[in-house]
Amino acid sequence: MEKKTFVTKEQLKEIIKEYPTPFHLYDEKGIRENAKALKEAFSWNKGFREYFAVKATPNPFILKILQEYGFGCDCSSETELMLADALGFQGPDIMFSSNATPAREYKLAYDLGAVINLDDITHIDFLEKTTGIPKTICCRYNPGGTFTISTDIMDNPGEAKYGFTTEQLFEGFRILKEKGVENFGIHAFLASNTVTNEYYPALAKVLFETAVKLKQETGANITFINLSGGIGIPYRPDQEPNDIRVIGEKVREVYEQTLVPAGMGDVALYTELGRYMLGPYGCLVTTAIHEKHTHKEYIGCDACAVNLMRPAMYGAYHHITVMGKENMPCDHKYDVTGSLCENNDKFAVDRMLPKIDMGDLLVIHDTGAHGYSMGYNYNGKLRSAEILLKEDGSTQLIRRAETPEDYFATFDCFDILSNMKYR
The answer for residues whose C-beta is within 8 angstroms of residue 316's C-beta and 6 or more apart is 235, 310
Q: What are phi and psi of 201, to 5 degrees?
A: -60, -40
Write the single-letter amino acid at 299: I
Instruction: Report the C-alpha gap between 304 and 310 in whole angstroms.
Output: 11
- Cβ 305 vs Cβ 384: under 8 Å: no
HEC letters along the chain: CCCCCCCCHHHHHHHHHHCCCCEEEEEHHHHHHHHHHHHHHCCCCCCCEEEEEHHHCCCHHHHHHHHCCCCEEEECCHHHHHHHHHCCCCHHHEEEECCCCCHHHHHHHHHHCCEEEECCCCHHHHHHHHCCCCCEEEEEECCCCCEEECCEEEECHHHCCCCECHHHHHHHHHHHHHCCCCEEEEECCCCCCECCCCHHHHHHHHHHHHHHHHHHHHCCCEEEEECCCCECCCCCCCCCCCCHHHHHHHHHHHHHHHCHHHCCCCCEEEECCCHHHHHHHEEEEEEEEEEEECCCEEEEECCCCCCCCHHHHHCCCCCEEECCCCCCCCCEEEEEECCCCCCCCEEEEEEEECCCCCCCEEEECCCCCCCHHHCCCHHHCCCCEEEEECCCCCEEEEECCCCHHHHHCCCCCCCCHHHCCCC
- Cβ 211 vs Cβ 186: under 8 Å: yes
The residues assigned a catalytic role are: 341
- Beta pairing, strands 361-364 & 320-322: antiparallel
